[in-house]
Amino acid sequence: MNVLGINCVFHESSAALVVDGNVTAAAEEERFNRIKHGKSALVSNADDLPSRAIAFCLQQAGIEPEEIDLVAVAFDPQLRRETFQVDPLSVDGDWGSARGEALFRTSLARIPERISDLLGVDCAAMVRWIPHHVAHAASAYYPCGDDEAAVLVVDGIGESATALLGAGKGTLIEPLGDLRYPHSVGFVWEKLSAYLGFSPYDASKVMGLASYGDPRTHASAFAEIVGEGPELEVRTDAFEFRLPGFEALEQHFGPRRLPGEPLDQRHIDLAATLQSWNNRTILGLAERTHRLHPAQTLCFSGGVALNCTTNWLLKEEGPFSRVFIPSAPHDGGTAIGAALAAFHASGGPFPEPTTISPSKFSCEYAGPEYSDEQILAAFAQAGVTSQRSPDIAREVARRISGGEVVGWFQGRMELGPRALGNRSLLADPRDPGMRDMLNDKVKHREAFRPFAPSVLAERARDWFDLGRDSESFHFMLFTCPVLPAMASRIPAVVHVDGTSRVQTVSADLNPRYHRLISEFDELTGVPMVLNTSFNDSEPIVCTPSDALATFLGTRIDAVAIGDHLASRA
């Protein structure tokens, strides 16, 4: 059975292809169209399909449109109709208003026709509408390796719910509870991110900023507008999620920060208060989920599952002995979840738990890869001279140990917002000036933002307190304490609070990246490299041409694409 999964309704547009229950290909549209998040989330463009991502998935699997059995869309229009309520605090013609909802439903209704037009096949009878949060849950549950687990999804909004609490049992995902708009953890992050002068999608910046602040400064004011624990209550008159202004929030926290203005300490403290509240709220939701379904494993998904600080606390202090988070817990992963949910709902068998391993069912490296001929053609087109390296891992390790920043482009592209060693910029974690240089001269971003270490999985506990095991360390989804005796040796990847957002690298999941780090260890005695996404205020690079354009437009010292290396020297 061939199932095409599509996420197109809001943002992080994406596509995935599941063949007989296995994820064959998956990618976000932003990597192809070079527009962050793929598109804007408008009431009128739910039918704006991830056409390039769909084309890639079919090509990667060698599937013709006529061979598709089901098309799974990560949204349920019927559930939306049953649960939507007009928001009196909304702009006419936009989200939450009656006229905006009419436009949204019209664009939803166009999706089957748009899919048919794109594929050249009548797909009306093949479309399966998968509830948004079920798609999120499926993206974590089916690859997790257990045939029973609790599931928790927390994001901005699905159809009308803002969180799902449930259980995975065999092929079935059973919803057991939820939260409803306006009680949304994700929307609180979006609104406060914008209040702090960032974009609504910049929760990761606020998370990094929080470590510099005091969460007690705004604690009482914050408590007036949000509740805590599993029964979340958010005051819409304070947040006005669907209105463009910030007057209500300014009454509680003072004037908002405009984009580009200096950060005041009160802004930094508010970020800390928000992070502290998020920690308590997610732990409360996990405890509620455990009471509903006291399994050993929790599968956590939704955009809020990208918060690495909270994830660490959930793993260490939560009621579940195992926490699994996929590499793409945000909306980009719902294409995979929708396809897997549709496959199993149609009678597809659940894999035997004893045969599952993280490497067999992992979806993190599901994007495109490029042949040697395509790589050489990209170098020629860009006018960049390259040399074939007889040992690219050793050569790049040598350059990094000598202080160079190297673009590392290898194999299949990662799925999710974090570079996992195939579309990465790599540098020396020992260099105390590397963080400031990368933020200022290469990434062109805020000075407070930290960088992550990619560390050999077998050596990670020598350097970091990893706490409980989790396969999701492979996906850079937990911040954890750096061992005090080691922190001074790797200053470029230690955040102000003494933590690092660790990615463990194993030889079975990414052998070439593992070998590069091993070579760096041989040279330096440090079994890790600094890893950040290969981009510059743009989506992570997808093609060799993207990589070379970013190389030429920044102060990266060298770029390694496959076995080919180019440098500025």
Catalytic residue among 11, 37, 133, 293: 11
Strand partners, 180: 161
Angle, CA of 281, 87 and 8, to the nearest 5°:
75
Q: Phi first, then psi: what are they for 503, rounded to 5°?
A: -115, 120
Q: How far apart are CA 230 and CA 487, in angstroms?
A: 36
Q: How far apart are CA 449 and CA 439, in angstroms?
A: 7
Among candidate residues 556, 445, 528, 493, the one with its CA nearest the CA of residue 198? 445
Q: Each residue of 415-443: b (16+ CB within 10 Å) or e?
A: bbbbbbbbbbbbbbbbbeebbebbbeebb
Start-to-end Cα distance in the chain: 52
The answer to whether 54 and 4 have CB atoms below 8 angstroms apart is: yes
Please say if 11 is a catalytic residue.
Answer: yes
Angle, CA of 85, 91 and 97, to the nearest 5°:
25
Please identify which residue in the block is written with the tokens 């403290």.
269
Please identify which residue in the block is written with the tokens 């089901």.
70
Among candidate residues 337, 330, 40, 333, the one with its CA nearest the CA of residue 186? 330
Q: How far apart are CA 62 and CA 323, in angstroms?
A: 35
Instruction: Read off the tokens for 383.
Output: 């006018």
What 3-state class would DSSP assign to 525? coil
Q: How far apart are CA 222 and CA 205, in angstroms?
A: 20
What 3-state class would DSSP assign to 150? strand
Supply the DSSP symbol for 314: H
Catalytically active residues are 11
